[in-house]
Amino acid sequence: MANDLLTAFIHLNLVAAGAILVVLAIRSLVRRHFGPAIAYRLWLSVPIAAGAALFPAAAATRIVPPGDGPHFDPLYLASQGLMNAPSGPLIALWLLGAALAAVLIALCQLRFLDMARRGLAGPAVAGFFAPRIVMPADAVELYSAEERALIRAHERTHIDRGDPRTNGFIALAQCLCWCNPMVHLAAREARIDQELACDAMVLAHRPGQKRRYAETLLKTQLGAVAAPLGCHWLAGSAPHPLEQRIAALRRPAPDFQRQDVGAFLMAGVIVVAAYGAWKAQPPATAEGLPVYEAPVVHEARHMQAIIVSPVHSQLRLPA
């Protein structure tokens, strides 16, 4: 049982890493042609593909070329090697790492909530079950009335879309897959795409306020603490996400026809990812075609009978 769990966990992480690489490769192109919302939804293919990897595998088949003896698929050989691995210590190490990751995320969340109580955090949305908008104490002095309205619209859009809960599940995935660096990279990039999608949705109803929106982004706290279980403006100490968001404001929004095409392509990517993850998993059992064995030839030894004709049998030898 423990070995099966370890095998499933390793295969799930490999599938997730592959899906993440695909999304990272195509997300910029999808965002440019179909909009930030479609690019953000591409990240659904990662958990769906990982979940498909847990479905029962197809029956194993031993491929035996004639004359070469038994030959196995490399994935099957790898899975058989994991069956003999010391699963107990590895699972204990995984649980220890997951617990440590959960503690670190909890500390970051508590730090954010402490700064929010002192008026030093925000604009952001905090909370998983009951998300609420967090604003800094000097919001009235820092932002104009129009800018505060844009901030509230942005954060309300996050709440209406369920983004805080999504970020909570992303944090859970980081805890469970703490040993997979691709998961942590995907968590950061997915939250950037989340902000870009939220920006696009807000400006879809306010197309004439792009300049004001960009100025509001530039006014956000550059040293703000991130909320692991919430949404924030991703200004941070690194300027790259902020520059990316401002650059995205300059692009025209895709029309409805292009959005429909993008949604259709996104669904195709998710289906292909799920099917590929299921087909790529190691065979569940070692059963299948019988191993090729050369036929055994049994030598039959028969006594040779000498048939003597009656004519010769009547001959008499001379005395």
Q: Determine the residue type at 224.
A: A
43 assigned to some structural domain: yes
By DSSP bridging, strand 124-126 and strand 132-134 are: antiparallel
187 assigned to some structural domain: yes
Q: Could you give the CA distance from residue 212 to residue 309 in angstroms, rounded to a whole number?
A: 122
* Number of structural domains found in the chain: 1
299 assigned to some structural domain: no
Encoded tokens for 163: 């983004």
50 assigned to some structural domain: yes
Q: Determine the residue type at 142.
A: L
* Radius of gyration in angstroms for the set of CA atoms belonging to the chain, rounded to a whole number: 33
> What are the per-10-residue average pLDDT scores of the chain (319 residues)?
75 89 91 89 92 72 45 53 67 92 92 89 87 90 92 94 93 94 94 91 88 85 64 56 64 66 73 70 49 49 50 50
Burial 295-312 (b: 16+ CB within 10 A, else e): eeeeeeeeeeeeeeeeee
Q: Determine the residue type at 4.
A: D
311 assigned to some structural domain: no
- What distance lies between CA 285 and its chain's CA centroid? 26
Which domain, by its residues, includes 250?
A: 2-290
pLDDT recorded at residue 292:
43
**Full-model pTM:** 0.72
pLDDT recorded at residue 251:
67
CA distances from 85 to 4, 60, 71, 80, 116 (A): 11, 21, 22, 9, 47
pLDDT recorded at residue 65:
46
301 assigned to some structural domain: no
214 assigned to some structural domain: yes
The number of residues in the chain equals 319
Q: Are 127 and 229 in contact (CB under 8 A)?
A: yes
160 assigned to some structural domain: yes
Any bridge partners for residue 232, and if so which? 124
